[in-house]
């Protein structure tokens, strides 16, 4: 059993991102510190064992000279993820050597706190196997995959992104609210509702907080929320989740153009804030080194122009049935993605036909076939935002319920807004995982969520 040398100076506990500790070298002693963490990487060599330690805050190279420190049973059992506390002297790395933050811990004492079997490589290393089998294995082992540098960097960046939204909204004087997740109304169509029994009544998990946001702009001004939304999506795509984080805002007394300008400004602010932070920039460098802030203004394109654009390509990009696109077609995910990737810059796609959009959307007074609606499309991901101006006329809304086979009774509170001082207003929802997939260059939103939920997956 290792014994700590009582003649050494007391070890001061630090986290691995603490840059303030004194580093020693050949000429002077560095600070003696105590670090808690897990083995990220282990390299036993003849004279020295190298451990890269991680603690969720940073990484540190730890050096154990061969001898008492390495011949114990504990040392023989070191493995990736072994939890331990190490004491030692902090030094700068010698010239020519490479280590995180250019420093290393010369260990003089340690204690294992939690051993680990040395099977992690077998779990998270891709041997020859089919992509889908591999993907499922990674998801089954998400709790261990999250221990990895990349998976955890995405989650760390996610926090910066979320905070950047909160800061941006504060600066723009939007008030944060928290609408309910348990509801009795639909927003985006009945086919993706998760139904459940609410004390004997039918209820749903919310698809969007929009309708609730619309009921508080009158008293709270412009509002936003960052809440979960739920969609019983019956297809498996790389950008659909059953539970996702929805950034939604509602703006009062605006015109459609104001809404477009605002969305552009928000995205721009959030990107600026993330890139302004040194730590976040570090994660961006790991995950998406080529990232550049998109130029403003974004390309604005009407739905009708997009249809023409798709048909004009050589070869033309067909609709889902393999035919040329016609006005009224939904632009399906594949076509939308092709278009976004070819144009290769953010697009504000506007003025979608009434028939393919939700019941609440306001019609364009200059072209009653279309709505004042917008999707923001990003290269690599496609749609990350959906928004619109809202129907503010009472009779028109009642008519829209009828047309969409929606019974108006459960919506009385929503309809009332058109009775008590209605106003031109609009808003949008942004999928946080999709936004992150764009910024962090992830192939799928599934790696942008801590534990993703989609058809067939509700564990871990």
Q: Which residues bind ligand 4AD (CB under 6 A)?
A: 187-188, 208, 210, 231, 233, 240-241, 244, 246, 248, 383-387, 427-431, 433-434, 445
Q: Identify which of residues 53 and 389 has a Cβ nearer to ligand 4AD in the complex.
A: 389
Cβ 411 to ligand 4AD shortest distance, Å: 14
Indicate the residue whose CB is closest to ligand 4AD: 386
Q: Identify which of residues 79 and 406 has a Cβ nearer to ligand 4AD in the complex.
A: 406
Q: Quick one: which H or E segment has residue 150? A: helix 149-171
The three-state secondary structure class of 144 is helix
Q: Label the pairing between strands 223-230 and 382-389.
A: unpaired
What does the block give as tokens for 458?
């509700």
Cβ 354 to ligand 4AD shortest distance, Å: 16
Give the single-character DSSP code of 16.
T
The three-state secondary structure class of 275 is helix
Q: Identify which of residues 40 and 434 has a Cβ nearer to ligand 4AD in the complex.
A: 434
Q: Identify which of residues 298 and 428 has a Cβ nearer to ligand 4AD in the complex.
A: 428
- Radius of gyration for the alpha carbons in the chain, expressed in angstroms and rounded: 27
Residue 136 CB contacts under 8 Å (≥ 6 apart), including other chains: none
User: 449 — alpha (psi -120 to 50), left (phi > 0) or beta?
Assistant: beta
Residue 82 CB contacts under 8 Å (≥ 6 apart), including other chains: 38, 39, 112, 114, 115, 116
- Can you tell me the distance from the alpha carbon of 404 to that of 331, in angstroms, rounded to the nearest whole number? 21
Cβ 444 to ligand 4AD shortest distance, Å: 10
- Can you tell me the distance from the alpha carbon of 152 to that of 81, in angstroms, rounded to the nearest whole number? 14
Give the single-character DSSP code of 290.
T
Cβ 122 to ligand 4AD shortest distance, Å: 32
- Can you tell me the distance from the alpha carbon of 305 to that of 97, in angstroms, rounded to the nearest whole number? 57
Q: 40 near 149, Cβ under 8 Å?
A: yes
The three-state secondary structure class of 41 is strand
Cβ 364 to ligand 4AD shortest distance, Å: 17
Cβ 240 to ligand 4AD shortest distance, Å: 4
Do you know the residue count of the chain?
Answer: 460
The three-state secondary structure class of 204 is strand
Cβ 317 to ligand 4AD shortest distance, Å: 21
Cβ 210 to ligand 4AD shortest distance, Å: 3
Q: Where are the beta strands (DSSP E) in 82-160?
A: 83-92, 103-114
Q: Identify which of residues 78 and 438 has a Cβ nearer to ligand 4AD in the complex.
A: 438
Cβ 106 to ligand 4AD shortest distance, Å: 48
The three-state secondary structure class of 414 is helix
Q: Where are the beta strands (DSSP E) in 318-440?
A: 347-350, 363-364, 367-371, 373-378, 382-389, 425-431
Q: Identify which of residues 52 and 242 has a Cβ nearer to ligand 4AD in the complex.
A: 242
Q: Identify which of residues 82 and 388 has a Cβ nearer to ligand 4AD in the complex.
A: 388
Cβ 147 to ligand 4AD shortest distance, Å: 25
Q: 48 near 65, Cβ under 8 Å?
A: yes
Cβ 316 to ligand 4AD shortest distance, Å: 26
Q: What are phi and psi of 386, to 5 degrees?
A: -130, 130
Q: Identify which of residues 183 and 385 has a Cβ nearer to ligand 4AD in the complex.
A: 385
Q: Identify which of residues 80 and 388 has a Cβ nearer to ligand 4AD in the complex.
A: 388
Q: Identify which of residues 14 and 445 has a Cβ nearer to ligand 4AD in the complex.
A: 445
Q: Identify which of residues 49 and 417 has a Cβ nearer to ligand 4AD in the complex.
A: 417
């Amino acid at each position: 059993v290792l014994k700590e040398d009582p003649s050494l100076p007391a070890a001061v506990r630090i986290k691995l991102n603490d840059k303030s500790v004194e580093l020693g070298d050949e000429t002077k002693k560095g600070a003696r510190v105590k670090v808690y963490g897990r083995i990220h990487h282990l390299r036993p060599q003849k004279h020295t064992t190298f451990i890269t330690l991680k603690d969720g805050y940073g990484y540190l190279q730890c050096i154990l000279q061969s001898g008492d420190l390495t011949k114990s049973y504990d040392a023989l059992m070191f493995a990736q993820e072994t939890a331990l506390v190490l004491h030692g002297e902090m030094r700068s790395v010698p010239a020519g050597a490479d280590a995180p933050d250019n420093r290393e811990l010369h260990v003089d004492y340690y204690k294992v706190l939690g051993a680990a079997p040395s099977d992690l490589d077998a779990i998270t290393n891709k041997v020859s196997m089919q992509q889908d089998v591999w993907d499922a294995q990674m998801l089954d082992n998400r709790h261990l995959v999250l221990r990895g540098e990349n998976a955890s960097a995405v989650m760390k960046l996610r926090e910066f992104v979320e905070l950047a939204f909160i800061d941006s909204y504060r600066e723009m004087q939007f008030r944060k609210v928290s609408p309910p997740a348990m509801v009795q109304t639909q927003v985006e169509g009945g086919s993706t509702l998760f139904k459940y029994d609410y004390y004997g009544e039918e209820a749903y998990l919310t698809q969007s907080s929009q309708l609730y946001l619309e009921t508080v702009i009158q008293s709270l001004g412009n509002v936003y929320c960052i809440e979960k939304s739920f969609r019983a999506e019956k297809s498996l795509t790389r950008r659909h989740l059953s539970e996702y984080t929805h950034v939604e805002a509602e703006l009062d007394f605006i015109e459609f153009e104001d809404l477009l300008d605002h969305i552009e400004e928000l995205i721009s602010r959030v990107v600026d804030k993330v890139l302004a932070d040194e730590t976040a920039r570090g994660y961006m460098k790991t995950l998406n080194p080529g990232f550049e802030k998109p130029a403003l203004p974004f390309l604005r394109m009407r739905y009708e122009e997009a249809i023409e654009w798709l048909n004009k390509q050589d070869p033309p990009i067909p609709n889902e049935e393999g035919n040329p696109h016609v006005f009224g077609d939904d632009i399906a995910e594949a076509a939308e993605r092709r278009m976004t990737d070819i144009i290769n810059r953010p697009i504000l796609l506007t003025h979608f036909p009434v028939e393919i959009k939700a019941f609440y959307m306001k019609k364009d007074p200059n072209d009653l076939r279309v709505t004042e609606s917008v999707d923001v499309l990003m290269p690599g991901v496609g749609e990350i935002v959906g928004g619109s101006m809202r129907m503010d006329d009472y009779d028109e809304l009642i008519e829209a319920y009828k047309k969409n086979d929606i019974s108006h009774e459960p919506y009385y509170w929503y309809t009332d807004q058109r009775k008590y001082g209605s106003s031109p207003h609009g808003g949008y929802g942004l999928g946080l995982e999709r936004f992150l997939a764009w910024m962090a260059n992830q192939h799928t939103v599934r790696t942008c969520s801590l534990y993703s939920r989609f058809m067939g997956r509700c564990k871990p």
